[in-house]
Amino acid sequence: MKKLLVLSAVLFTAVTIETYAIGLGVQFGGNMLSGFDEPGFSILISPNEQVHGAVTWYIGSGGLSLGGSADYWFLPIKITTLGPGDLKFFVGGGVYARIAIWEDYFGLGAGLRLPIGVDWKANVFDVFVQAVPQVGIGLLPSPGFDGFYVDLNLGARFWLG
């Protein structure tokens, strides 16, 4: 029975890796509305070309925040072929959660995102620029409106599989 479970897991993993490409990459950016005073760095994990996840760190002079986001690019439109790849415009939807730790503040918030941008993909590599309007609610220290943000990001991914 144990061998059957191991064999099933190996076959499932092999089929999954063969069926879906996985994109790993980095993303840099900051909040356009605050003058980019909080540059960020993200590690991207994308199970396919429409679903994108990121773990993001923003570091400022008074503290840091750690966040996570998940987006779905539901409207990719090919603009043109540029060299070995296609340049696409995309619109998506997603969610985020963020923990902020500053000198005299601890906060937890979550909200909705609307990524809008362009993506150039050539074979196993892509580069994108996106503006991401976000609106959220604060959960800690007190529940309520968490504000409106517009992140601007530049990112790159390497696709495996």
- Residue 60 neighbours by CB under 8 Å, 6+ apart: 37, 38, 102
Query: Right CATH number for 22-160 from 3.30.2320.30, 2.40.160.20, 3.90.660.10, 3.90.550.10?
Result: 2.40.160.20
Report the largest interatomic distance among the alpha carbons of the chain, rounded to a whole angstrom: 60
Residue 94: predicted pLDDT: 97
More confident residue, 34 or 53: 53
More confident residue, 21 or 9: 21
- Let me know: does 42 contact 54? Beta carbons within 8 Å: yes
Token readout for 106 is 């601890």
Tell the residue number behind the tokens 């790993």, with chain if given.
Answer: 24
Give the whole-number percent of the chain exceeding pLDDT 70.
84
The pLDDT tens digits of the residues spanning 12-45 come to 343 344 445 788 888 888 777 776 555 678 888 8
**CB-based contacts of 35-41 (< 8 A; 24+ apart in sequence):** 36/152, 38/65, 40/151, 40/153
The pLDDT tens digits of the residues spanning 89-146 come to 999 999 999 998 988 889 999 999 999 999 999 988 999 999 999 999 999 988 999 8
Pairing label, strands 116-122, 51-60 = unpaired
Residue 15: predicted pLDDT: 39
Calculate ∠ Cα 135-139-143, nearest 5°: 90
Tell me whether residue 147 is exposed, middle or buried, using C-beta atoms within 10 angstroms of its C-beta: 0 to 12, 13 to 18, 19 or more. Answer: middle
Residue 114: predicted pLDDT: 97
Is the model's pLDDT at 4 over the cut of 60?
no
For the chain, domain boundaries = 22-160
d(CA 91, CA 93): 7
- H/E stretch holding 113 reads strand 105-113
Is 0.85 surpassed by the pTM of this model? no
